[in-house]
Amino acid sequence: MQARTLPEWLSYLETLHGKTIDLGLERVGRVRDAMALKPACPVIMIGGTNGKGSVSAMLSTMLNRAGYKVGTYTSPHILHYNERVAIDMRPVDDDALIAAFCAVEAGRGEVPLSYFEFGTLAAVWHFLQSDVDVMVLEVGLGGRLDAVNAFEPDVSVVVSVDLDHQDYLGPDRESIGYEKAGIFRSGRPAVCADPHPPQRLIDHAAAIGAPLYLLGRDFGNVRLEQQWSFHLGERQWHALPLPALRGAYQIGNASAALAALALLFERLPVDLGAIKRGLLEVDWPGRFQVLPGRPQVVLDVGHNPHAVRALVANLRQLPFAENRYAVFSMLADKDLEAVADLAVTEFDGWFVGGLDMPRGQSGARIAERLRAQGVKNVHVLGTVSDAWKSALSVAAENDRIVVFGSFHTVAEVMSARQTLT
């Protein structure tokens, strides 16, 4: 098939494999080898339950400000697939993606690839064609069996470990930590920025001979009022600005990014000015993003208890709001009950809408589950867009609307806002 447009290609990719998620490296490895996809430039691999996109964005921005040509692969996207594949933090255009998809299609022969596997190979192919100086590759799900792990990292970073995707990764933090440690490599530095790293992650690094750098033991930060400092061994950076990405946890994310830079410094030296500019200029929409104007609107793609716990902590640091409204929707296989328990006291009213997609659920079903957890004042709308418009119609100037629960939830509201403007 010779698809002519990017939407046609994306529809085609959804038909190539019987499963949306099929973890394993055998198929993607065969196509990687057939296409001779072997990066010579440094590769930084970023995994973790939450925070890996923010770390990828910070790393990429700092490296770019240091003068490097940076290829960044992240997932999922919010509005446009192109967001997943970026050169110097700018999404590539449709023609570049189509050329990459054509190359993978020619290289795969009869090998069935999942949507994510196909996209991962296409991204790396494009980065090689573009002759980037460094690749920043974000793991999609887990680590050990994720398609991104078919490539060889020069440094691996696990940002955080918590409960999510238990059907694929295991029932507890120890099991999930082991899966995420699968991106570590023998003799290559590995970073873990989780303040309580699972023992199985630590043990795996030791078993394969990966030098492991832990937050609080081997690297760390000191927070001052309006600046902070970082240290890893003899490498120290002082008087750093607070990251442009909001949220108290972003200092930890920035520390993970700086640990990767410190460990690659001999191959990719980055001056202090580039680090400071990168921290100040990084942009990563949908991650505790506070929009200008009134009523105050916060967009957050948090979709698991770990992320929502951080969201709640950050909301409590914002100025007082007279009424606090949630625009909420969540996929059916996520832990809605735990999320509701964490957020129940944070909102005076909930506006919920359904997600019409695989793994989605109706607004009525979401409302039923919320009410079972003791959530009151729940308004049921047909779609997330309807929920957003309804919340907007009742919110006054001194109120706050928080949109969260899924990438899809934030995407629908972003689209609705564009339509309204």
Tell me the β-bridge partners of 132.
none
Alpha helical stretches, state H, 141-230:
166-169, 173-180, 199-208
Q: Are 283 and 56 in contact (CB under 8 A)?
A: no
Cis check for the bond before 292: say yes or no (omega within 30 of 0): no
In the prediction, which pLDDT does 4 show?
82
**Dihedral, CA of residue 123, residue 116, residue 174 and residue 161, to nearest 10:** 60
pLDDT value of residue 379: 96
Helix or strand or coil: residue 125? helix
| Cα–Cα dist 181/420, whole Å | 44
Among residues 4, 42, 48, 16, the alpha carbon closest in space to that of 119 is found at: 16
How far is Cα 290 from Cα 24, in angstroms, rounded to an integer?
38
Quick one: pLDDT at residue 17? Answer: 74
Say which residues have a Cβ less than 8 Å from residue 79's Cβ, sequence separation at least 6.
411, 414, 415
| Digitized pLDDT (tens) for each residue of the chain, 421 residues in all | 555 899 999 999 988 876 766 778 999 999 999 999 999 999 999 999 889 999 999 999 999 999 999 999 999 999 999 999 999 999 999 999 999 999 999 999 999 999 999 999 999 999 999 999 999 999 998 889 999 999 999 999 999 998 766 666 778 899 999 999 999 999 999 999 999 999 999 999 999 999 999 999 999 999 988 899 999 999 999 999 999 998 888 999 999 999 999 999 999 999 999 999 999 999 999 989 999 999 999 999 988 898 999 999 999 999 999 999 999 999 998 889 999 999 999 999 999 999 988 888 999 999 999 999 999 999 999 999 999 999 999 999 999 999 999 999 999 999 998 876 5
State both tokens at 177. Answer: 């930590």
Q: Count H helices, E strands: the chain?
A: 15, 17
Residue (of 413, 265, 404) closest to 324 by Cα position: 404
Residue 170, classed as helix, strand or coil, is coil
The pLDDT score that the predictor gives to residue 357 is 85
Residue 168: per-residue pLDDT: 63
Q: CA-to-CA distance for 148 and 242, rounded, in angstroms? A: 30
Question: Could you give the 3-state DSSP secondary structure of residue 297?
Answer: strand
User: What's the confidence (pLDDT) of residue 163?
Assistant: 72
Q: For the chain, report the end-to-end CA distance as a whole number of angstroms.
A: 38
What is the per-residue pLDDT for 223?
92
Map tokens 């596997």 to a residue.
117
Which among 162, 188, 184, 191 has a CA at the least distance from the CA of 59? 191
